Chains A and B, each alone.
Chain A
Amino acid sequence: MFDFYFDLPLWFRLVLQGTIVILVLFPLAAACSMAERKISAWIQGRPGPNRTIPPFLAWIPGINIIRNLGLFQLAADGGKFTFKEDPVPGNVNKFYFILAPILAMIPALSTISFVPFGAYFKTLADGTRELTPIILANTDVGLLAVFAVSSLGVYALILAGWASNSKYPFLGGVRASAQLISYELSMTLSILPIFLWINAPGGEGTLSLFNVVQTQSQAGFLGGMWYIFLMPVSALVFLVALFAETNRQPFDMPESESDLVGGFHTEYGAFKWSLFFVAEYAHMIVGSGIFCLLFLGGWNPLPWVSLADLVNFGAGFLPIIAAPLVMGLLAITLFLLKVGFFIFFFMWVRWTLPRFRYDQVMNLGWKKLLPLSIANLIFYAVAIAVKDLYFPNL
């Protein structure tokens, strides 16, 4: 049915796929801003934005549901950000000032190419079926590429802070660089145990995120276990570091509006400002996606129940479920549900915890999380060695 698609030239298919993913990710990131406003409102006992509606749509029955969710407000905000005047302050370094929001968007949107968001059964030439990831670039460097590209995002913050030529953005930029560098260490160290666990010594190693999910979808007690149960400390350290890396409260040092006005984006307005925010939300989406892949079994519906099990079970009643398109959509839905929960969790935490002081952030990063992640790494290194030596068949 879709054979014509695979006859298209490769470069065209890649451009098409990339465009589609960005066209989904960008509005999704923008929609997060409305989700944030709604969740903050509900937690504070308010209904949130629920008034905006274009008058020519008001006659449609049931449209009030969309109106109450604030989706028209989101469209109005988007239109406003696109078309309002975008002033550049007089004393800024114009080139870098304009470059910064663009630099913020690039890593935010490009990390998604290494994140698999679903899987489907591909029928091979010999008739066997193979689980294939839905991913833009299925490379073996996988996670390493995500870390490498996403850590470039800090340059945008530093550049914005410096180019603004104003003290509050400058302080915000300095804080951003210090915080992001500090937490990157514990973040990377916290996930090493997973890859120690996956990659057998002597064999061919991989950092592919698809493989991480595959090792959580095997048969047996350990095979089907999500890594959040196997390595809870890793998950905790990774989650805390993720909050810090995405500049979310309680770690939003670079922004911290109570002491830095608006932090690195104080001098920004209109479209450039909204680019920073879409980049932040895109980072959150990708970060939550990686957390789900690493610790929550990716697109597997439940621990010890893999997507393949579910589809094989469902195909017994309804064979269409095993069709690549249906199965792919099912996998993407399951994955997006988990990611959506984490986006909610990010916002939930934001309205629960107060912002840390700067020195508390540094203390937590260097004196608590870093030793904890190193100890965690050593513990799992020893444990995995013992398991491989004495219980190879467990």
Chain B
Amino acid sequence: MATITVERKPLSFLERTYIPNVVAGLTTTFKRMIKPTETLQYPEQRPAIPTGYRGVPTLVNDPHGREKCVSCQLCEFVCPPKAIRITPGEIANDDPNAHVEKRPKAFEIDMLRCIYCGLCQEVCPEEAIFLQNQYSMTGYTRAEMVNDKDRLYELGGTLPDQHYKWDKKKSAAEAASHGGHH
């Protein structure tokens, strides 16, 4: 491989006194000093969260106020650090959501174990669990760091739904029982 010899220019007298370079450096730092600071004053100012951000995993309701989770436990099985613990529960027959398969009796995510990988969101067939924008989880005890079902729904809120899968299933079943095409 060819070697390129770079000619090093000898320093001029002024350069060897350091003075012009020191002055240039001082100018740079002074200009930097009078510029506005870059700091985000954190608790008062919050950073803009980019789309697709993976924050704390949460459970969501659909726009009709139905909890979307049917406690199929896929997220519990896929969770790499085993942070999710679900206790499935039946839905009473007189419940307006009785047509839905199941609901979780208890749903706990241990945020000391969670690694924010998002596999639970990816695996969920009901689009019930989402990693949303919440990025700050703090607590004084281990127990405080376990999000229970109420807390998960409080964090998750309501997200829009495109399918209303269970409502469609119900109306299809009703149509069939009334002697429809199916």
Is A39's beta carbon under 8 Å from chain B? Answer: yes
Closest to A39 in B: B33
Q: Is the CB of B35 within 8 A of A45?
A: yes
Chain B residue numbers with a CB within 8 Å of A349 are: 22, 26
Q: Is the CB of A352 within 8 A of B25?
A: yes
CA distance A42 to B39 in the complex (A): 11
Chain B residue numbers with a CB within 8 Å of A351 are: 29
Is A1's beta carbon under 8 Å from chain B? Answer: no
Is B38's beta carbon under 8 Å from chain A? Answer: yes
CA distance A228 to B16 in the complex (A): 22
Is B32's beta carbon under 8 Å from chain A? Answer: yes
Of the residues B22, B33, B39, contact of A43 by C-beta under 8 Å = B33
Chain B residue numbers with a CB within 8 Å of A340 are: none
Q: Is the CB of B28 within 8 A of A352?
A: yes
Main SS at interface, chain B: helix
Closest to B26 in A: A352
CA distance A349 to B33 in the complex (A): 13
Chain A residue numbers with a CB within 8 Å of B30 are: 348
Is A353's beta carbon under 8 Å from chain B? Answer: yes
Is B37's beta carbon under 8 Å from chain A? Answer: yes
Chain B residue numbers with a CB within 8 Å of A348 are: 26, 29-30, 33
Chain B residue numbers with a CB within 8 Å of A41 are: 37
Is A84's beta carbon under 8 Å from chain B? Answer: no
Total cross-chain contacts (CB, 8 A): 36
- Mark interface residues in B15-42 (1 if CB within 8 Å of A CB, else 0): 0000100100110111011110111010
User: Smallest CB–CB gap between B31 and chain A, Å?
Assistant: 10
Q: Is the CB of A45 within 8 A of B26?
A: no
Q: Is the CB of B38 within 8 A of A42?
A: no
User: Smallest CB–CB gap between B86 and chain A, Å?
Assistant: 42
A residues contacting the other copy or chain, number (CB 8 A) = 14
Q: Is the CB of B25 within 8 A of A45?
A: no
CA distance A43 to B35 in the complex (A): 9
Given the interface contacts A47-B39, A352-B28, does A42 sit within 8 Å of B22 by beta carbon? no
Closest to B38 in A: A45
CA distance A45 to B37 in the complex (A): 4
Chain A residue numbers with a CB within 8 Å of B34 are: 42
Of the residues B25, B26, B39, contact of A46 by C-beta under 8 Å = B39
CA distance A44 to B33 in the complex (A): 7
CA distance A39 to B38 in the complex (A): 15
Of the residues A47, A236, A353, contact of B37 by C-beta under 8 Å = A47
Q: Is the CB of B29 within 8 A of A46?
A: no
Q: Is the CB of A46 within 8 A of B38?
A: yes
Chain B residue numbers with a CB within 8 Å of A44 are: 32
Q: Is the CB of A42 within 8 A of B25?
A: no
CA distance A352 to B28 in the complex (A): 8
User: Smallest CB–CB gap between B35 and chain A, Å?
Assistant: 7
CA distance A353 to B41 in the complex (A): 29
- Mark interface residues in A208-245 (1 if CB within 8 Å of B CB, else 0): 00000000000000000000000000001000000000
- Mark interface residues in A41-69 (1 if CB within 8 Å of B CB, else 0): 11111110000000000000000000000
Chain A residue numbers with a CB within 8 Å of B41 are: 47
Chain B residue numbers with a CB within 8 Å of A45 are: 32, 35, 37-39
Identify the A interface with B (CB < 8 A). Answer: 39, 41-47, 236, 348-349, 351-353
Q: Give the top 8 A-B pairs by smallest Cβ distance, nearest first.
A: A42-B33, A352-B25, A352-B29, A45-B38, A43-B33, A47-B37, A43-B29, A45-B37
Q: Given known contacts A46-B39, A348-B26, what 5 new A-B pairs fall within 8 Å (CB)? A: A45-B32, A45-B35, A47-B37, A352-B29, A353-B25
Pairs across A and B, CB under 8 Å, 10 listed: A39-B33, A41-B37, A42-B37, A43-B32, A45-B35, A45-B39, A46-B37, A46-B39, A352-B29, A353-B22
